[in-house]
Structure 1
């Protein structure tokens, strides 16, 4: 993983080191302007998410968002989906595959 941004430089540094990010910053603009980054995961409160996604898209970064008013949804759904996607990436495994193995024994 390339870059990590968080409001606190100290927490950002420890998380970046723990998960192998190449660098960390307290200025998210550095992530959005990095030409080597093409996909971002915006893990913020819902009230901040939309504006950051718009800014990321303007910088040609990809993000995914599961809430669609026509389909319904809620804060729990959006945050859980992002969390599950992130954990799936970290562990390199599909949760359904793990559930299947647990059920099958």
Structure 2
């Protein structure tokens, strides 16, 4: 199974290298690819040995928050276009 993660806090090549090493060291993970520009990592996983949640836990232990790309929260429409308050001044 191919899995893709969105990585927070990846701001340089050293971070990308660490993330690739952390993911590559997990049993059942192969073909790791990290994109610094897109702030994403992808890997092929053997579901009998690991899961996307385990990958995210290992990254968190290394100091990088992540989420599954398929679970990303959609961005809301800008308040002005939606005709409502952005919540910035009143917390709404």
Scaled by the length of structure 1, the TM-score of the pair is 0.27
Structure of larger gyration radius: 2
Question: Which has the larger strand fraction?
Answer: 2
Scaled by the length of structure 2, the TM-score of the pair is 0.29
